[in-house]
Amino acid sequence: MLYSLISLGLTLTAVTGVLAKTSYDGAQAVRVAVGDDVVPLMKIIDKLSLASWKGVGPNGVPRANGNVDLVVPAKKVAEFTALVDGMEFEVMHEDLGASISAEEEESVSFKSSAAAAVDVTYFNAYHAYADHLTFLRDLQAQYPTRSEIVTAGNSNGGRPITGIHFYGTAAGKPAVVLHGNVHAREWITGMTTEYLAWYLLTNYASSSEVKSFVDKYDFYIFPIVNPDGFVYTQTNDRLWRKNRQTTPNSSCIGRDVNRNWPFQWAVTGGASTDPCNETFKGRAAGDATENVGLRNYISTLAAKQKVQLFIDIHSYSQLFMTPYGYSCSALATNNAALQSLARGTASAIQAVYGTVYEYGPICSTIYQATGSSVDWVNDIAKAKYTFTIELRDTGRYGFILPPAQILPTALETYQGFRYLLLNMVL
């Protein structure tokens, strides 16, 4: 199916900035090395009210002995440069607005020559939300006897949280569940999640190995579980993270859907209680509209057929992580098996292009994160294996990963996914 003018128009609008409310023209994305003393950088972040991509906790404290990735608005670049004099830092995006425009323009160029929504050329470009829905529907229509379109409730804005369920010879087997684009700006996650579905379905008839995977498990793949936020990244703010839900008595919008799951939600330190913060946990556990639908859907699967594997797909950092996020000392009861699988997955990914992934529990590997999907799915839904992956890269491009890296990211991720499917024990 050819891409519609409406869908293409959405992308072109993002390129031209006609509807954009947030401009990153002249802004910089920078990485600052942090030593033992985090106070000097914390003071700079507070003074300039800088947004962070990674390395800063919900309390505004940078992580010691690591790197902090920050967005510096154009009007604050000179002051920031003066303030960090003497600190080790590098500029990742000299002009963030130009990088965003290049990302969009390259996608439009790729799309203009794409022939079909279910062809591999789909993965040469990022797409408007309508195109993602078309992709799923066209993919399901191509394999109607072993797949179906499913929804896990609606977003806060009323958009169905749409996925594809496929199952081989018969439905009702242990479930493999994947979530993409939980955080709106992480565009590579939806594309990679769709590639995994596309590869398994299109190779079912020709590969005995793929057939064995799909005949063994039911796959439930949801490429964009935060559709309101995702659409907002294309029309208003490319770097938006949260959903688009309002909070009483606050002008700030959005909850972090991955800090809202009702397990260890109240633990301090792993999320923010400030509605203006990007890791805002919500007013109550599980009160994000999207969380309600996702939680109910997984609960139903767990009761009917059990969840064998759950992966929450994020970017960026190149990490493959296990429970828990809420605590750096607690470990899952099957931690030894999880670490073994994580190690093998990281090795399988690296074998493709040499891309190095670190692995380990969320809290000790990246940072404390309370109310996370992986912790809830592990302990409440009782999935046998639960993981969070942070896809490419480690910061050169960050959230603005060029379209040319979509397919390589998807290819190497499939090999890690394949390792899990080959080595998990039912």
Active-site amino acid positions: 390
- Tell me the C-alpha to C-alpha distance, in Å, between residue 186 and each of 225, 242, 315, 391: 12, 11, 6, 9
Separation of alpha carbons 385 and 377, rounded Å = 9
Query: Which residues touch 53 (CB under 8 Å, ≥6 apart)?
Result: 29, 69, 70, 71, 395, 398, 399
Query: How far does Cα 37 stand from its chain's mean position?
Result: 31
Instruction: Give the largest CA-CA distance in the chain.
Output: 64
| Omega before 357 within 30 of 0, i.e. cis | no
At 166, which helix (H) or strand (E)?
strand 160-166
198 and 151 Cβ atoms separated by less than 8 Å: no
Q: How many Å apart are CA 318 and CA 98, to the nearest integer?
A: 25
Say how far residue 173 (Cα) sits from the centre of its chain: 26
Helix (H, G, I), strand (E, B) or coil at 278: coil
